[in-house]
Amino acid sequence: MEEIVRLEIWAIIISVISAIATFSAVLVALWNSKQHWKKNIYMSFINNAGVINEKNFTPEFLEIILFNAGNVKIALSSIFLNSKKENSITLPFELEYQLWEKPYILDIGETLMLNLQFDIFISSLKGQLKTQQIKENKPIVFLVEELSGKTFKFKITHTPLDYLNWEKGEVCLFPKIIE
């Protein structure tokens, strides 16, 4: 009788250990599956798209390139100019010379090129500088918002003051054309 009790105790101990191992395996599997649903966007900002003639370079538009480097599709809803979402200005980017329809579904590995007219960008900067939502000497921040509400933040190297001086002709952000 005592031998049967001892076997039952060992059976219970082995059952508990196997239950803990199974639970741990499930936790590890769930943790690993989380990585498969990660959303990730890379952004490239090009500010030298424009018209070149024999004398000078005229900026026409700025270009943002978004690349979905994640493992799921991303539904893009808006692109903002600011670091605080509640004070942001939604920028009217164009996709192939038409306003892009929202939401835009960015497939896995897909690249999206959006254009913004230079004068609209400058007026947006001036408006936010006037209301002190951004600072002249701080790098410009873009917020790309997904339909679910997740926001991706991108900072570029140039400041609003760089663009305002460039508009006046005082600073050239691009290589000058030498005759």
Sorted by sequence, the CB contacts under 8 Å of residue 169 that are 6+ apart come out as none
| Structural domain boundaries, residue 109 | 41-168
**Is 24 found in the same domain as 46?**
no
Sorted by sequence, the CB contacts under 8 Å of residue 101 that are 6+ apart come out as 95
Give the per-residue pLDDT at 157: 81
Give the CATH number for residue 120: 2.60.40.3970
- Average pLDDT (91-119) is 74
**Is 95 found in the same domain as 48?**
yes
| pLDDT mean across residues, the chain | 76
Give the per-residue pLDDT at 125: 83
**Is 130 found in the same domain as 54?**
yes
Residue 101 in contact with residue 51, Cβ under 8 Å?
A: no
**Is 98 found in the same domain as 57?**
yes
**Would the pLDDT of 66 be above 50?**
yes
Give the per-residue pLDDT at 62: 78
- The pTM assigned to this predicted structure is 0.65
Top mean pLDDT of 24-38, 90-104, 162-176 is at: 24-38
3-state secondary structure of 33: helix
| Domain annotation covers residue 175 | no
| Domain annotation covers residue 31 | yes
**Is 99 found in the same domain as 52?**
yes
**Would the pLDDT of 61 be above 50?**
yes
123/150 Cα distance (integer angstroms): 27
18/5 Cα distance (integer angstroms): 20
| Domain annotation covers residue 174 | no
How many domains does the chain fold into? Answer: 2
pLDDT category of residue 15 using cuts at 50, 70 and 90: very high
117/98 Cα distance (integer angstroms): 12
CA-angle at 62, arms to 98 and 165, nearest 5°: 140
